[in-house]
Structure 1
Amino acid sequence: MNGHAKIDDCFIILDNLPLGAIVLSRDFTVICWNALLEEWTGIQRGEIVGKTITDYYPHLADSRYTDRIIPLFDGGPSVVFSSQLHRRFIPTSFPNARERIQHTTVTPLFLGGELHALVSIQDVTDLTRLAQNSRTLHTQALREIEERKKAEVQLRLAASVFASTSEGIFVTDANGVIISVNPAFEQITGYSAAEAVGNTPRILKSGKHDQAFYAHIWNSILKEGLWTGEIWERRKSGEIYPQDMTISAIRDENGFIRKFAAIFSDITERKKMEEELRYLSMRDGLTGLFNRRTFDEELENEWRRALRAPAPFSLIILDIDYFKDYNDTYGHQEGDRCLGAVANVVNCAVRRPGDLTARYGGEEFVVLLPMTTSADAAIIAEGIRRDVEALSIGHRTSKVSGVVTASFGVGTVIPTRDRSFTELIRVADHALYVAKSKGRNRIMCHKA
């Protein structure tokens, strides 16, 4: 949500996010309060919008929050209230509210020409359950949309709607020759009515779909009278773009197909938003590295690939030495900066397409290295160790150095069908344990 936004647009976008979302003005007045927060808290937006949020949640007036959020209104950077350090930004009204954990990000948002704060809250406790509920709601929504579109097809063919709707419409005869298009069709596709009428919809084909795809569409239309789905088409300019389309067969009183009507909308922006949300769901909000869930998935995928051509498979697990002491000494804000700096070093250490870096949890990071020997993995780990030390981040309470350091465990396994990818984690974790027990700020390797 970068750039300028309107309040109505704010509500529409925020209400469709799978996150709790608030927009605050400089004096912490609530400008937007999305639907998910209404569900979480029981507070309706009509009650809280226009009020100061600290009237409802006094803990947000604490300097732990204000000292980090207020600079944002003067052009400061986004801030993160991690789930490990700030368990609940907005308490919920759930029966087990005290057990729930939230991950909160506050980013700048231009609204009405002024900087505001966009607060995004993710409940990370019930992530699996919420994902399941989300899929259920998505399926239900698709069914509802299909039924709605069946009813709307005939209405949208009415002359007044045909001319004014923002969705593109074209009608063909029984042979598929275009006989009518509306103004939105011209605007979306770039073809004028004169250019389209007399042609077939093949002028819109993108080349991204095979014959089986189109055969499925026609089979659905001829059997059920309707097809609804997403399709990639080509504008007159040559640009390929996604559409949400409904095609309906129009029959006469004897049941014979006389015409076909198609209604479509350009969903380019929706696809961009979905891709951005997918990207964010894979990343750790503080460091920008891949998150634990993505790491687990990629490790399992790479392990399966490695079974086809067994070779050494290595994993580096590193842990910032005495990070809890660092947080206690310098504060959580400096702790977040330290994590971000170390994450950048870790991310710069790998170059190959199959390698992956992730935040494993807390102050732990992992580097996934398929087709890498223990010796080569140790070289990469030593490079990271030196670069972390070279950051020269002061750490006066460390027992091994005056600057921030890290300990490394390098595990190496040759994948076989009688082994699980979890063995690689176990081996690397054991090596990390040995590195810590031998004094930290060092690398230990272990093979299995």
Structure 2
Amino acid sequence: MDNDLRDAAAPQDGPSHDIKPLPAARVEFDPDGRLLSACDEFLRLTQYEREDVLGRPEAMLLWPEDRDDPQYHALWELLRSGEVVQRELRRMTRNGQELWLQGSYDPVLSEDGKVTAIRLIATNVTAKRRQATNHENILAAISRSTAMVEFAMDGTIIAANANFASLLGYDVDELLGRNHREFVAAEIVESPSYGAFWNRLRAGEFVQAEFPRLARSGRTIWLQASYNPVVDAATGRPTKVVKIATDITERMHQNAEAERLALLDPLTGISNRRGFDLALAAALDDFKRGREPISLIFLDVDHFKSFNDIYGHQIGDRCLRRVAKAVERSVRHPESLVARYGGEEFAVLLPNTTRLEAARIAEAVRAAVQGLGIDHPGNTGWGTVTASLGHVTFEAGRDERFHTATELVTAADRGLYTAKRLGRNHVADAVDPRANEPFAVFRILPGDELFGPEPESAAARQIRRSATI
């Protein structure tokens, strides 16, 4: 056994567990905001009985200072017009406690396009909200929450306070006369959504969201902002837009980092199963729109349970970390993703990669793992840690209705188990299981050239049918 793995490893964190989704509260209102139905979760959160809320207005759940807020009335005007609204909602429980919901209002339309009901689906984010409120960074953001700027209806800045100018790195006088679009990324300004955004404001709609903006330094800052059209009392037309903003850049960076970490396997530092699934879905979307092939490699460390039984889980974890690094070093494909699929199984996603290229990469990975020289007495016939690999390639334009994530994973997995049946420490290529071709195996050994497909024997067919995966 090599010295690196002989040394006892430091205690590792326990295995990560998938986070269970929060239960959803579901409510239905009529177009005037009266409750038509409420699920048990909603009643539990608000601490009301069903008979206490049915037929009552949603406003009964608002804090007194929020009931007459123009923003709340604007919300229901948007809903009655058929627009879907998603936002964070502050509500009050029956005993006067603050309740925060992340909710989506979805209007229900009749056949003639009229709104007949409004459905709200929401999750409780009170704990998260309280934690953020107590955080020192949020306290710093609160001190800047009165950043304000006024725009003419063409986006020209006509007024701004010092807090807003400071957020962007300017003096107030430097902002006056400049246009809103100057602080927005070019790809956003040129998109249809940007024009639609200003059309909504010109129509008098209130808009609230999180927005990326360009500071004087060129860096992107994030603002939690509300755009409030000011309507002329005589004409009923908006004359300007008042924007109130809070700097949430740090929070967005933290969220982005948390999301990044959520996609990484804590043991090996490579992508985890969730990250792989997201990348695979995106790669398949690109594949279906383009003409380039897509390949997938599955790798399983041979007899790894035996390795753990001999050396213990700490040494086993160190082995998996070394295998992961060896796989990453071997792939060297610009668009590839190496992921820990589960346990001792790894996946390599290879967009824009031909079958021959995938076979060569798989062989390079196989050789790299064996080349680690990690002693493994339980791996009969080899004596060191080895891996079995299966790979598959889908070609653009060929049976595309079958080119799904399930098809690709199933095919690669079939190749993997073929490699195991060949004696392990092998590479096998399984064709698309939906194709009309016979089952094909490509064996790649050190110094050998790629050859295949080989005809499948009756015995091999029987093994394939009886194999349990």
**Which TM class, normalised by the smaller chain length?**
0.5 to 0.7
Q: Shift of residue 301 of structure 1?
A: 4.2
- Structure 2 letter corresponding to 1:440: R
1:81 corresponding residue in structure 2: 14
- Structure 2 letter corresponding to 1:428: A
Is the Cα contact below 8 Å between 1:292 and 1:358 reproduced in 2? yes
Alignment of 1:187 with 2:131, yes or no, is no
Is the Cα contact below 8 Å between 2:144 and 2:247 reproduced in 1? no
Q: Shift of residue 262 of structure 1?
A: 1.5
Say if 1:279 and 1:177 are closer, same or farther in 2 by CA, change over 3 A.
closer
Equivalent residue of 2:173, what SS? helix
Map 1:312-327 → 2, pairs under 5 A: 313-327=294-308
Q: Shift of residue 339 of structure 1?
A: 0.9
Alignment of 1:278 with 2:259, yes or no, is yes
Runs of at least 5 residues in structure 2 that lack an aligned partner in the other structure: 1-8, 26-41, 46-84, 91-99, 103-141, 433-469
Distance 2:390 2:220 in 1: 48
Question: Whose radius of gyration is greater, 1 or 2?
Answer: 2
Q: 2:198 aligns with which of 201, 218, 221?
A: 218
1:124 corresponding residue in structure 2: 18
Q: 1:142 aligns with which of 88, 93, 110?
A: 88
Equivalent residue of 1:447, what SS? coil
Distance 2:424 2:293 in 1: 26
Alignment of 1:417 with 2:400, yes or no, is yes
Is the Cα contact below 8 Å between 2:144 and 2:246 reproduced in 1? no
Equivalent residue of 1:360, what SS? strand
- Structure 2 letter corresponding to 1:231: F
Map 1:8-407 → 2, pairs under 5 A: 68=10, 79-82=12-15, 103=16, 123-124=17-18, 126=20, 129-130=21-22, 141-144=87-90, 165-171=144-150, 178=157, 180-197=159-176, 201=180, 204-210=183-189, 212-251=192-231, 254=234, 257=238, 259-307=240-288, 313-407=294-388
Distance 2:290 2:155 in 1: 51
Distance 2:153 2:409 in 1: 62
Q: Which has the higher helix share?
A: 1
Is the Cα contact below 8 Å between 1:146 and 1:228 reproduced in 2? no
Equivalent residue of 2:335, what SS? coil
1:429 corresponding residue in structure 2: 413
Is the Cα contact below 8 Å between 2:145 and 2:244 reproduced in 1? no
Say if 1:165 and 1:377 are closer, same or farther in 2 by CA, change over 3 A.
closer
Say if 1:167 and 1:331 are closer, same or farther in 2 by CA, change over 3 A.
farther
Equivalent residue of 1:81, what SS? coil
Equivalent residue of 2:268, what SS? coil
Q: 1:440 aligns with which of 403, 414, 424?
A: 424
Is the Cα contact below 8 Å between 1:400 and 1:441 reproduced in 2? no
1:188-225, Cα deviation, whole Å (9 max, x unpaired):
12222333346555654543432644443333334445
Distance 1:164 1:429 in 2: 55
Q: What percentage of aligned pairs have identical amino acids?
A: 36
Equivalent residue of 2:209, what SS? strand
Say if 1:362 and 1:174 are closer, same or farther in 2 by CA, change over 3 A.
closer
TM-score (norm 2): 0.57
1:298-350, Cα deviation, whole Å (9 max, x unpaired):
33443454455667654322111111111122221211111111111112222
2:443 corresponding residue in structure 1: none
- Structure 2 letter corresponding to 1:142: E
The RMSD of aligned alpha carbons is 3.7
Distance 2:187 2:352 in 1: 34
Q: Shift of residue 278 of structure 1?
A: 2.4
Is the Cα contact below 8 Å between 1:307 and 1:416 reproduced in 2? no
